[in-house]
Structure 1
């Protein structure tokens, strides 16, 4: 089975074992642990201090990334017996994620367990994910400690983000303020730009549950289970979470990294209004969400962005505010393809934020290089970059977390 999995990534069985552990040297069995750790660090962490300088990090980001890479080098060989399970964090993409302590180092990690008795396509997906995570070192990408195989499972060990994902935060916050989402937008754009510019890949599964946050104020993309290395900026396959997929992906046409931007825009609307925005809220629900009538247009007409009546009798979706029935999957896909994309209501958010979300909704028409140029230079992003926002303080208050004495300035 290992040979089949490795073959998907043009690796031999020996190469696959190297990929999950230490590089094999002539005296690897005799080498002291410190030397083996150094070999592993040099092999799987391609970002030297010089490479880190090329990432245009501020001093605090550089120190934190260097500290993480140093921790990673000291962890040593990962083994199943070295982990103590603390709690379950979630499940998805063929695996279960748990909060664990690595007993030899004392580090708290997030451990993703993936069974190998799965479809070949999923096994190939695991290889791609491991490749990406080994090579990615950015303040906007969740850190990766290593991976190992044991008892029919691959364990992927990642940085633990104590704030969890934004969909979990949303359940507590009900709605996330615009100024907070400004910092989120910066981090997501920079993370996507890093993946494309440094590794020529797309994320392919941008959604609130794949944006992680912590009590230091850091915001990072995670879960590259649906990411693949791309030779060019275009792809032609169905991979991802359908409810966040852009129209061109659902139609089977060519799509590029701009589909990630479309998914980000949909996520921003969800985080802003407090629930998945398809079907769109009607005026009555918007009034319940914002505590007052919401108007749309210069004449002050009642806001209504739902052109279809929802059939009764379906489960309720969302985070508590949504009183409308959830769509069946085919109805949802048809809506994404044939109806105008969700938008932010007028009179609640700034014009800059509304325009930014609207550009995300039309991102598929842009050239690939505009991901880092057009969007990162948008007025909403430039304003959010200079705006003083205590993201860590807001998050810790919302989730009742203990805030570190020296939080990171979010997304800066």
Structure 2
């Protein structure tokens, strides 16, 4: 296999294309000159954009100020900045505040404005709500809905494999969110993974992090972004990113939630029972390595976090080897066979078809039998949320 270098978009899409999401002031980098002049220009552009968003806003948080927010907890690091849990003191509302340094390269600056516009325009039960944003020099602070149960990545790592009925509700919510983004805004998410799917104690499931989202037809969509381990085979090979690439990432994510581990990795314990994992990877496993010496085993322990372990033994793949595996080998499956409903197995298989032309869109997958079942399933997600 040859891994092609991904295409890097070098030109902006034509102005006035009705299919594109356009943002005033973000079509070009600030003029060249001193760093302070650049920052001043960008600061002005950003302030204008924020003011316009505030004027158009119908929510009660449009007059957000840093002094009105009380830090409560560090939530982690996101794309391009940190995220904190804060309280908006005047209203008592708990929010998630994303802090982004605006002394960033031009591409990141445009990304910030694009993210603001996308979030401001989104109004869906399956997308994290946007409360507003403000400048706290040299940072921009973006305030979003706080999901108190955190990401599904953190949840399954705490409680283990997630019940397939809950996983079905996750699939439904993500498909609804992706369909909304694509149909209403003509954008694709491009970074679907369990850490970007959030859950709250009300039983709501929403997708977040538009830090790497882009306009569907814009050349930005040809840039190599997203989390490589969830990336579709065609994207790894440098082909154009489409909404069907998000479907692949969803399929990988659903297996991860149902099995309680990343589909291409092994349990962290060498002594663990691997029978449950049989058949998850393709039968054509990489050739077994010769027995390791004690020195090699010690070296492997030190290096393990740098690679992806495949079903025990001495097989630890580098990211490059994993990407080659994703392209060359049959896709992972929801296994062992018979543990999960046939409809769930079929749904995941349809997400993970290697040829994108054969893969269905999120809108088409909303008509799948398993999704129909999940839509009417009586599982109480609010009650489930109370168990952890």
Instruction: Establish whether TM, by shorter chain, passes 0.5.
Output: yes
Partner SS state of residue 60, structure 2: helix
Tell me what 2:147 maps to. Answer: 161
Unpaired runs of 5+ residues, structure 1, are 24-39, 46-72, 297-301, 400-412
Judge conservation of contact 1:273–1:289 (CA < 8 Å) in 2. no
Judge conservation of contact 1:44–1:135 (CA < 8 Å) in 2. no
- Quick one: distance in 2 between partners of 1:21 and 1:372? 35
TM-score, scaled relative to structure 2: 0.78
Tell me what 2:304 maps to. Answer: 315
1:43 aligns with 2:34: no
Q: Deviations over 1:134-155 (max 9, x none)?
A: 1001000000001111121111
1:365 is matched with which residue: 356, 366, 370? Answer: 356
Taking structure 1 as reference, are residues 310 and 7 closer, same or farther at Cα in structure 2, changes over 3 Å only? Answer: farther
Tell me what 2:49 maps to. Answer: 19
Tell me what 2:319 maps to. Answer: 329
Judge conservation of contact 2:126–2:206 (CA < 8 Å) in 1. yes
Within-5 A mapping of 1:374-389 = 375-389=365-379
Aligned-residue offset at 1:118: 2.5
Taking structure 1 as reference, are residues 273 and 74 closer, same or farther at Cα in structure 2, changes over 3 Å only? Answer: same
Aligned-residue offset at 1:237: 2.3
1:78 aligns with 2:46: no
The structure 1 segments of at least 4 consecutive aligned residues displaced by more than 6 Å after TM superposition are none
Aligned-residue offset at 1:18: 2.9
1:135 is matched with which residue: 117, 121, 127? Answer: 121
Aligned residues: 339
Tell me what 2:199 maps to. Answer: 213
Within-5 A mapping of 1:204-283 = 204-231=190-217, 235-279=221-265
Name which structure has the greater RCO, CA cutoff 8 Å, separation 6+: 2
Within-5 A mapping of 1:339-358 = 339-345=329-335, 346-358=337-349
- Quick one: distance in 2 between partners of 1:330 and 1:157? 36
Within-5 A mapping of 1:27-106 = 40=54, 43-44=56-57, 73-106=59-92
Judge conservation of contact 1:21–1:147 (CA < 8 Å) in 2. no
Aligned-residue offset at 1:128: 1.4
- Quick one: distance in 2 between partners of 1:257 and 1:392? 30
- Quick one: distance in 2 between partners of 1:249 and 1:304? 20
Judge conservation of contact 2:351–2:360 (CA < 8 Å) in 1. no
